[in-house]
């Protein structure tokens, strides 16, 4: 199945990292285990956004909605129903995908910037409903103390669970971006007009891409609940969406693992800087400005460019 997908070097790299992360919890204090889990969740979220952003060239400006919908669906299923938690795990990403489908049907006909702006707006509606529906979603307080199944509720168990699900999701996403679907998705990013001319139904392709990304965003949402044990409306606030976008930009959105790297950097910085100052967003803003001026291809993009000479072309056509 994986033959032809990755070379031997990347494969041993992957195995090495897997082993490292599997034994890590035995050596680290609890806070770090929690911290790594959070990185996995955020990394998965950023990677799922990048599927449509970096590979599909779509201006997915409100990806956090799918994260939040996944998280809320999972939490509400655990609290309000007596079904087995497995159903909650299955329902959450599907709910995200359905929201993705509805938003996609409305947005996808529009061109890039329109698409993004409308998506921010529609996503904000979802946020507003969650924010105000006190009786159901807990409103702006969110829901705390969600009864996570005991098999994954402790910090280290949650860590292992998060790690494994993230790993599987990443592999599946990697397969998708390297499949014929993914190839054509990239072609659409580079040149939608030409893609249409070689017989690709561009809008349908974009819609499917959006639904897939929303699905994985939903998985990240459930993992967040597993790690954190609570949900709150800020999970799907639009500024958070742009923060995920920054993660992709920081890591490099023309690479597969760049967004994951970017997410790790941002989560780490937020944790570290949060100790010293409450003005984290100020710092984030300044990081972002420097990034746009000096490293528009992102950290990983910069290095791949340096070593492969792959990105010599002008970035993405202007509208």
Partner 1 sequence: MLHVETLQKSFDGFMAVSDANLIVNKGEIIAVIGPNGAGKTTLFKLITGHLKPDNGKVYFKGENIVGLPPYKICKKGISLSFQIVNIFNRLTVFENVQVAILSYQKKSLNLFSPAKKLAIKETNEILENVGLIDKADNISGSLSHGDQKVLEIAIALGNHPELLILDEPTAGLSPEETSATIELIKRLNKDLGLTILFCEHDMDLVFAIADNIMVMQLGKTIIQGNSDEVRCNTEVQEAYLGGGSDT
Partner 2 sequence: MITLNITISGLFQQILVGLSRTTILFIVSSGMSLVLGVLRIPNVFHGSLYMIGAFLAYSFANFLGGSITGFWLALILAPLGVAFISFIVERGVFCRLYEREHLMLLLFTFAFMLVFGDLVKLIWGSDYRSLNAPAVLQGSFSIFGLPFPRYNLFLLVIGPLVAFGLWFLTNKTKIGKISRAAAVDREMVGAVGINVSWVFAFVFIIGCFLAGLGGALVAPTQNITQGMDHSIIIEAFLIVIIGGLGNIWGALLGALIFGLTDSIGILVWPQFAIVFPYIAVVTVLIFRPKGLLKSVW
Residues that bind partner 2 (CB under 8 A): 59, 61, 106, 109-110, 112-114, 116-118, 120-122, 124-125, 128-129, 132-133, 237-239, 242, 245-246, 249, 279, 281-282, 284-286, 288-289, 292, 296, 315-316, 318-319
Query: How many other C-beta atoms can be found within 10 angstroms of the C-beta atom of residue 151?
Result: 9
Minimum distance of partner 1 from residue 299's CB (angstroms): 19
Show the binding pattern over residues 162-181: x = contacts partner 1 (CB under 8 A), - = does not: -------------xx-xxxx
- Would the CA dihedral through 269, 273, 274, 278 be positive or negative? negative
CA distance 107 to 117: 9
DSSP H or E segment with residue 81: none
Query: How many other C-beta atoms can be found within 10 angstroms of the C-beta atom of residue 126?
Result: 21
CA distance 173 to 89: 18
Show the binding pattern over residues 243-282: x = contacts partner 1 (CB under 8 A), - = does not: -----------x----------------------------
DSSP string, 184-212: HHHHHHH-HHHHHHTT--HHHHHHHHHHH
Nearest to 96 by CA among 203, 225, 245, 265: 225
At residue 61, what are phi and psi to the nearest 5 degrees? Answer: -90, -15
Minimum distance of partner 1 from residue 186's CB (angstroms): 6
Please report whether residue 307 would count as binding partner 1 according to CB under 8 A: no
**Binder of partner 1 out of 84, 125, 196, 274 (CB under 8 A):** 196
Please report whether residue 200 would count as binding partner 1 according to CB under 8 A: yes
Please report whether residue 189 would count as binding partner 1 according to CB under 8 A: yes
Binding site for partner 1 (CB under 8 A): 3-5, 175-176, 178-184, 186-187, 189-191, 193-202, 205, 208, 212, 254, 310-314, 317
């Amino acid at each position: 199945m994986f033959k032809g997908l990755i070379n031997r070097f990347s494969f041993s790299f992957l195995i090495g990292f897997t082993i490292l992360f599997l034994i890590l919890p035995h050596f680290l204090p609890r806070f770090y285990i929690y911290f790594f889990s959070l990185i996995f969740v955020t990394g998965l979220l950023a990677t799922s956004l990048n599927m449509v952003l970096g590979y599909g060239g779509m201006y997915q400006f409100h990806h956090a909605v799918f994260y939040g919908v996944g998280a809320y669906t999972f939490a509400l299923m655990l609290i309000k129903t007596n079904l087995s938690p497995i159903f909650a795990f299955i329902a959450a990403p599907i709910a995200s995908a359905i929201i993705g489908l509805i938003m996609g049907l409305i947005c996808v006909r529009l061109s890039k910037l329109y698409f993004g702006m409308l998506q921010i707006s529609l996503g904000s509606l979802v946020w507003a409903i969650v924010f105000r529906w006190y009786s159901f979603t807990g409103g702006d307080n969110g829901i705390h103390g969600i009864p996570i199944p005991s098999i994954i509720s402790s910090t280290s168990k949650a860590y292992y669970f998060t790690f494994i699900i993230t790993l599987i999701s990443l592999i599946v996403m990697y397969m998708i971006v390297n499949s014929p679907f993914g190839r054509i998705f990239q072609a659409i990013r580079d040149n939608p007009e030409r893609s249409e001319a070689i017989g690709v139904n561009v809008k349908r392709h974009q819609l499917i891409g959006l639904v897939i990304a929303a699905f994985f965003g939903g998985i990240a949402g459930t993992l967040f609940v597993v790690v954190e044990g609570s949900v709150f409306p800020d999970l799907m606030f639009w500024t958070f969406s742009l923060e995920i976008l920054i993660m992709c930009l920081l890591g490099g959105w023309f690479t597969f693992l760049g967004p994951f790297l970017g997410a790790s950097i941002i989560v780490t910085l937020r944790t570290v800087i949060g100790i010293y100052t409450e003005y984290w967003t100020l710092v984030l803003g300044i990081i972002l400005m420097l990034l746009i001026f000096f490293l528009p291809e992102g950290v990983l993009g910069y290095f791949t460019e340096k070593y492969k000479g792959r990105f010599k072309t002008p970035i993405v056509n202007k509208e």
